[in-house]
Amino acid sequence: MHQKELDGRIALVTGAGQGIGEAVTRTLAARGARVVAVDRNAAAVKALEAEYRRKAEEGAGPEPAVLARPADITDAAAVDALVEDVERTVGSLGILVNVAGILRPAPVVELGDTDWAETFAVNTTGVFATSRAAARRMRARRSGCIVTVGSNAAGVPRAGMAAYAASKAAATMFTKCLGLELARDQVRCNVVSPGSTDTAMQRQLWDGDEKSAERRVIDGDPAAYRVGIPLGRIAEPVDIAEAVAFLVSDRARHITMHDLYVDGGATLRA
């Protein structure tokens, strides 16, 4: 049987219940990893596990490639217990992908304290909690990869998205600092920064009919100081998942502390 590039690797993916997190889960599983799917939406990750259990029973493998672990990553104690349980019952964690995130759009002068705090609790503190728990084990084994899914909004101001952009900027710099601290221990830490991607989060920003809203994203909005997408399309979740799969693979073995923008050129980065 042909060996897949992530055979034997145990991965944990947060935000696995939908969108980019689900796409990352499926992509890593297709490459041979056994994936622990984490989300506070228990029904969503349990449905994923059930799907992969059926595949295993139909001969796809001796055990399901995806295991559900409902959890709230804003609870640091729960995160520590989760990682401990994975290490004990599934195997040594070799890959962590931080995808879980929320968006509470509002102008700063209208942004509530709760929306600000909850945005940072998930997008930044959650990344800290999961990364810390995984890093402790990976450093001891001198092996592992951590990828945080950030956003191109972390590097470009966005009107009405201050909390989201700031939280993603913090998570991005945190991941780079962690990568520096763990480099001598052979643990790589990178960031994937999507632009507009066809997910439920993206669609909550759309006004009017779907086609017109998508066109406005692609063409840009000068009134909001926002350029469009040079490649002429909105990303699909799998586009982001493929970038993550590359960074956790041995093909990227000499890449750490990198921020890979997957935005169709929307930020016009030099």
pLDDT at 148: 98
Amino acid in position 61: G
Q: How many angstroms separate the CA atoms of 137 and 134, rounded?
A: 6
Q: How many angstroms separate the CA atoms of 115 and 163, rounded?
A: 8
Catalytic residue list = 164
**CATH number belonging to domain 10-195+238-259:** 3.40.50.720
**Residue ranges in the chain modelled with pLDDT below 70:** 1, 204, 206-208, 270
Tell which residue, 190, 240, 203, has the closest CA to residue 23: 240
| H/E stretch holding 211 | helix 210-219
Q: How many angstroms separate the CA atoms of 60 and 43, rounded?
A: 23
pLDDT at 226: 87
pLDDT at 225: 86
pTM: predicted TM-score of the whole model, two decimal places: 0.95
Our CA angle for 260, 143, 248, nearest 5°, is: 30
